[in-house]
Amino acid sequence: MSLLELDLSKTIDKRWAHQNALSSFATVHIEPPSKPIQMPQIHPKTDPTVMNTVLEWHGAKSIKVNKRPRPLITEPKDAIIHVTSTTVCGSDLHLYHNEFAGLEKNDILGHECMGIIESVGSGVKNVKVGDRVVVSAIISCGECQYCTQGLFSLCDYTNPSKEMEKNYGHHIAGVFGYSHLLGGYDGCQAEYVRVPFADVNTLKITSDVKDEKVLFLSDIICTGWQATVLGGVQEGTTVAVWGCGPVGLMSVMWSRYRGAKKIVAIDCYEERLEKARSQGAETINFSKTDTLKTLQQLIPGGPDICIDAAGFRFAKGVAHQLQRGLQLETDTPEILREAIMACRKGGTISVVGDYYSTANQFPIGALMEKGLTIRCGQLHAQSYWHDLLKIVEDGKIDPTFVITHTMPLEQGDDAYKMFDEKEDGAIKIVLKTKAAK
């Protein structure tokens, strides 16, 4: 790794640290805006004369390709994107398994896409018709007390869910195609998508870089980066990553980029472990060997940073399989437990895998007594996607190593099944619309 690369990563961190409170232990006071910001309408106006091919959720393991009227500009800050590429995210599988609340039949899924701007509202200033853009998974207003601190996924004005408020005490930002708990917006596994607050939620691509290299700036490139920011990965640190799905692999890639001395990736699928090795990680296949013992051998004393890129659904032992089955808990704490047990004293646990509600037997004692820090959250894509785009365009990283399959959007139902069952070694599937060149 060149010095230049490390310098760049430090520059980004400094800027980010300046922008918000997550990069230090300081908790800054955040004042609400002096005048309230208008929550966008959730359901767009539509044009029944032009059909939009979309992927709809119809229940557990049931995705259907359907035709719906095309969305239209509904508010001044909207843009309509003619999608060229979209993809299925690991977190979409929580919806696919119907293990996340707030889904309704016919909901359009998808939160990672890019394409060409088809039309813009009168209030859009930064992008225009014909621009090629990546769309952020997270819908942010860009103006509230959280957005202006760079904490875009905590935006106060894009998610009207009262249920989330009841369950979490607050609501976070809306997310495209991710249930009514996260706003109920139409997703972007579609030919056309309406993007509210388009100035904030689109990233203009001016170079002729291929879709595949920049598409994941919607989510997984930024989420993997955030995992390393939350963990404080820097030159000489040791890192363990649980889960080698696309986000885990991006976390490995960025840990190496930021100069980690040793990276250990943990999963049970050989194809995914192989990808992690291609990015400089040593690997543990937990179906063949004891994770904690092996990790102790590879990193005596424990990793400085433990990244959970797996999340709530993956119960390993009978006890938690049973508790989840009986709905005594929604989330298994087993991966977090392993991370807490493995982490060196005073280390940091960075959680970017999704957690949904509550977990039993969470090892609060080990967490406290070992002086560990847990940092977590959904991605603040817009905080760093400009800088990460430059790194991609300069060819310093190539995120396309995660792509295993490319399919037409019309085969989206098959793509979900393949991705879920890891058929044919599926790790990341790009879906192309007819508008793709």
DSSP state for residue 404 in the 8-state scheme:
-
155 binds Zn ion (CB under 5 A): yes
Q: Out of 127, 135, 139, 144, which residue is the one contacting Zn ion (CB under 5 A)?
A: 144
* Type of residue numbered 126: N
Looking at the Cβ atoms of 180 and 337, the one nearer to Zn ion is: 180
Q: Which residues pair with 262 in a beta bridge?
A: 238
Per-residue three-class SS string for 274-295? HHHHHCCCEEEECCCCCHHHHH
141 binds Zn ion (CB under 5 A): yes
Whole-angstrom distance, CA of residue 341 vs CA of residue 112: 34
Taking CB under 5 A as the binding criterion, the range among 118-126, 135-143, 307-315, 374-382 that sits at the site for Zn ion is 135-143
Whole-angstrom distance, CA of residue 37 vs CA of residue 29: 20
Proportion of the chain in helix, strand, coil states, percent, rounded to 5: 35, 20, 45
Q: Least distance from C-beta 380 to Zn ion, angstroms?
A: 11
Taking CB under 5 A as the binding criterion, the range among 132-140, 175-183, 374-382, 405-413 that sits at the site for Zn ion is 132-140
Looking at the Cβ atoms of 94 and 320, the one nearer to Zn ion is: 94
154 binds Zn ion (CB under 5 A): no
89 binds Zn ion (CB under 5 A): yes
147 binds Zn ion (CB under 5 A): yes
Whole-angstrom distance, CA of residue 118 vs CA of residue 124: 13
186 binds Zn ion (CB under 5 A): no
φ, ψ (nearest 5 deg) of residue 397: -135, 155
93 binds Zn ion (CB under 5 A): no
175 binds Zn ion (CB under 5 A): no
Q: Least distance from C-beta 371 to Zn ion, angstroms?
A: 31
Residue whose pair of structure tokens reads 């990460």 in the numeric block: 388
Q: Which of residues 369-428 bind Zn ion (CB under 5 A)?
A: none
342 binds Zn ion (CB under 5 A): no
Whole-angstrom distance, CA of residue 31 vs CA of residue 33: 6
* Type of residue numbered 331: D
Looking at the Cβ atoms of 71 and 187, the one nearer to Zn ion is: 187
Which positions lie near Zn ion, rule CB under 5 A?
89, 91, 140-141, 144, 147, 155, 219
